[in-house]
């Protein structure tokens, strides 16, 4: 994979109002993501910059270098009500550029000083660098860390998430967070038809999460919006060509057919119950009715 470049930009605002999601406010220190996950729903955001959601999204990263200062200003406003903010909703706040720019750490310092609740979603054990800040904040406000793990299969991991830390390293980070008393769990999302949606793959992640002391496991099905669909299906055609026809049957738009979604969620729920884990479920996504005579993948038959 080619190298990447980081472009420094200034932002006018950092904490953004969100509608139609399970959180009201979001914050992303970076645009674009070096993790290069083939299913990433944020790829189309680069198109607003005149770039593409394929290689450009992975190789041209924008660092909002003044974000920590802007966050302090926003948290200090009299109008701010101290609501929880979701960090890392579009791109990973602990992606590779964070080792140099330390924007996420600066942002967490502001949240600690203002005792403001937050959640963090990441695929990186670099979150452990900021254990001191997270532990300090957790004494006075709600803190939750979601580590995304889609598979424990390293062969699949290398194809689906080519520059992310290994899945077992994320599980180890989860264990350490829990040992330090920080609420943490696993986002087993997205579940990928024909690849990671079978019982064996799901149970491997849930068993690892339970062994690490996870507070919760949440999982959701893949969304193939315009700008993601084309890129993802190209990867399938190259790596798993036998699955392409099946995707075209169960995805008539961005959302998977209801019948498929319900079967996978039932499997997930049963395994979660077996291991004594609950869930933090975001607002449900709309789903399309299953087409007549739908042929589903054998994994959900």
Closest CA to 178 of 136, 208, 144: 144
What residues contact 95, with CB distance under 8 A and at least 6 apart?
30, 33, 34, 35, 61, 124
Sign of the dihedral defined by the CA atoms of residues 74, 76, 77, 81, in that order:
positive
Are residues 159 and 235 both part of a single domain? yes
Domain of 194, CATH number, reads 3.20.20.70
Burial class (CB in 10 A: 0-12, 13-18, 19+), 28: buried
Domain extent for 283: 145-301
Of 141, 176, 192, which residue is a domain's last? 141
Q: What is the predicted pLDDT for the residue at 53?
A: 79
Of 141, 175, 206, which residue is a domain's last? 141
Q: How many domains does the chain have?
A: 2
* The dihedral formed by the CA atoms of 276, 279, 285 and 289, expressed in degrees to the nearest 10: 10
Q: What is the predicted pLDDT for the residue at 298?
A: 46
Q: What is the predicted pLDDT for the residue at 283?
A: 36
pLDDT tens series, the chain, 301 aa? 568 899 999 999 999 999 877 889 999 999 999 999 999 999 988 887 888 778 899 999 999 999 999 999 999 999 999 999 999 999 999 999 999 999 999 999 999 999 999 999 999 999 999 999 999 999 999 999 999 999 999 999 999 999 999 999 999 999 999 999 999 999 999 999 999 999 999 999 999 999 999 999 999 999 999 999 999 999 999 999 999 999 999 999 999 999 999 999 999 999 999 999 987 644 333 334 434 444 445 444 3
Are residues 19 and 120 both part of a single domain? yes
Using CA atoms, how far apart are residues 62 and 221, in angstroms rounded to an integer?
28
Are residues 18 and 125 both part of a single domain? yes
Are residues 277 and 215 both part of a single domain? yes
Using CA atoms, how far apart are residues 93 and 33, in angstroms rounded to an integer?
9
Q: What is the predicted pLDDT for the residue at 187?
A: 97
Rounded to two decimals, what is the model's pTM?
0.91
Are residues 137 and 149 both part of a single domain? no
């Amino acid at each position: 994979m080619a190298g990447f470049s980081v472009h420094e930009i200034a932002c006018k605002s950092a904490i953004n109002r969100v509608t139609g999601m399970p959180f009201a406010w979001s914050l992303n220190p970076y645009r674009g993501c070096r993790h290069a996950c083939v299913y990433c729903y944020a790829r189309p955001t680069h198109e607003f910059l005149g770039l593409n959601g394929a290689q450009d999204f992975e190789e041209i990263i924008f660092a909002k270098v003044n974000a920590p200062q802007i966050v302090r200003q926003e948290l200090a406003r009299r109008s701010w009500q101290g609501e929880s903010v979701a960090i890392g909703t579009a791109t990973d706040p602990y992606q590779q550029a964070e080792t140099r720019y330390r924007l996420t750490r600066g942002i967490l310092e502001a949240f600690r000083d203002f005792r403001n609740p937050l959640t963090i979603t990441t695929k990186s054990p670099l979150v452990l660098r900021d254990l001191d800040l997270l532990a300090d904040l957790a004494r006075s406000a709600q803190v939750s860390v979601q580590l995304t793990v889609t598979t424990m299969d390293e062969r699949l991991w290398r194809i689906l998430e080519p520059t992310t830390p290994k899945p077992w390293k994320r599980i180890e980070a989860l264990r350490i967070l829990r040992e330090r008393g920080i609420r943490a769990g696993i986002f087993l999302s997205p579940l990928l038809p024909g690849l990671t949606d079978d019982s064996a793959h799901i149970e491997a992640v849930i068993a690892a999460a339970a062994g690490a002391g996870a507070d919760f496991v949440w999982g959701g099905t893949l969304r193939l919006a315009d700008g993601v669909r084309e890129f993802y299906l190209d990867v399938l055609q190259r790596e798993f060509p036998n699955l392409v026809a099946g995707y075209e049957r169960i995805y008539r738009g961005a959302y998977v057919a209801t019948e498929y979604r319900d079967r996978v969620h039932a499997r997930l729920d049963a395994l979660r119950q077996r291991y004594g884990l609950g869930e933090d479920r975001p607002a449900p996504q709309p789903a399309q009715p299953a087409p007549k005579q739908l042929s589903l993948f054998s994994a959900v038959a």
